[in-house]
Structure 1
Amino acid sequence: MGVHHSFATPSLTVSTGKHVYAYGDFLSITFQVSELTGNPIIVHIIDSSGKASAPINISINKWNSTISSPIPFYKTTYSPGTYHINAEYAGTQSSISFDLVDSGKIAIPTEYKTLAQTWLKGTATDKDYAGLIRELIYFDIINVPGYDFQTAHIIHIPVWFKTNVKWWSDDSITDNEFGFAIQYLINSGFMSV
Structure 2
Amino acid sequence: MISKTSTLSIFFFIGIIPFLPLVHAEPSISIIMEQTTYSYCEKLFYTIEVSEVTGDPAIIHISDESGKGSSAIPIAITGLQNPIPSLIPFEAEIFPLGKYLIDVEYSGAATSAEFELIESDSICIPELIKPIMANWLSGNISDGFLLDAFQKYVDIKLVNIPFEINEDNVYDVEVPEWVKNIGYWWLEGAISDDSFSNAMNNLLERNIIGFPEKIENEI
Q: Same fold (TM over 0.5)?
A: yes
1:59 is displaced (CA, Å) by 2.4
Deviation at 1:108, TM superposition (A): 4.4
Deviation at 1:31, TM superposition (A): 1.2
Q: Quote the residue 1:46 is aligned against.
A: 63
Q: What is the percentage of aligned positions where both structures have the same residue?
A: 25
Tell me which of 162, 181, 186 is aligned to 1:166.
181
Q: How does 1:89-168 map to 2 (within 5 A)?
A: 89-101=106-118, 102-109=120-127, 110-118=130-138, 121=139, 123-137=140-154, 140=155, 143=158, 159=175, 163-168=178-183
- Residue 73 (1) aligns with residue 93 (2): no
Q: CA deviation at 1:125?
A: 3.1
Structure 1 position 45, deviation (Å): 1.2
Q: Does 1:175 align with 2:190?
A: no
Richer in helix (by share): 2
CA contact (8 A) 2:37 2:116 kept: yes
> How far apart, in 2, do the equivalents of 1:117 and 1:192 lie?
17
- d(CA) in 2 for partners of 1:141 and 1:108? 12
Show CA shifts across 1:81-135 (max 9, x none): 23221011222221112234554242442213213314xx4x5334312311112
Structure scoring higher RCO (CA < 8 A, sep ≥ 6) equals: 1
Q: Is the 8 A contact 2:30 2:111 kept in 1?
A: yes
Q: Is the partner of 1:83 in helix, strand or coil?
A: strand
The alignment's TM-score, normalised by the length of structure 1, stands at: 0.67
Structure 1 51/15 Cα, relative in aligned 2: closer, same or farther at 3 Å?
same
Divergent runs of 4+, >6 A:
151-156
Shift of 1:154: 6.7
TM-score, scaled to structure 2: 0.61
- 2:76 alignment partner AA: S
Listed as ranges, the gaps of 5+ residues in structure 2 are: 1-9, 212-219
Select the structure of larger CA radius of gyration: 2
What do residues 63-90 of structure 1 show as CA deviations (whole Å, max 9, x unaligned)?
2222223x22153863242322101122
Unaligned runs of 5+ in 1: none
* Change in 2 beyond 3 A, CA 1:173/1:31: closer
Q: Distance in 2 between matches of 1:159 and 1:67?
A: 38
Query: Equivalents in 1 of 2:135, 2:117: separation in Å?
Result: 27
- Segment drifting more, 125-134 vs 76-85: 76-85
Instruction: Say how many residue pairs are matched.
Output: 182
RMSD of Structure 2 on Structure 1 (CA): 4.0
- SS of match in other structure, 1:167: helix
Q: 2:7: which partner in 1?
A: none
The Cα of 1:25 is off from its aligned counterpart by 3.8
2:41–2:91 contact (8 Å) kept in structure 1: no
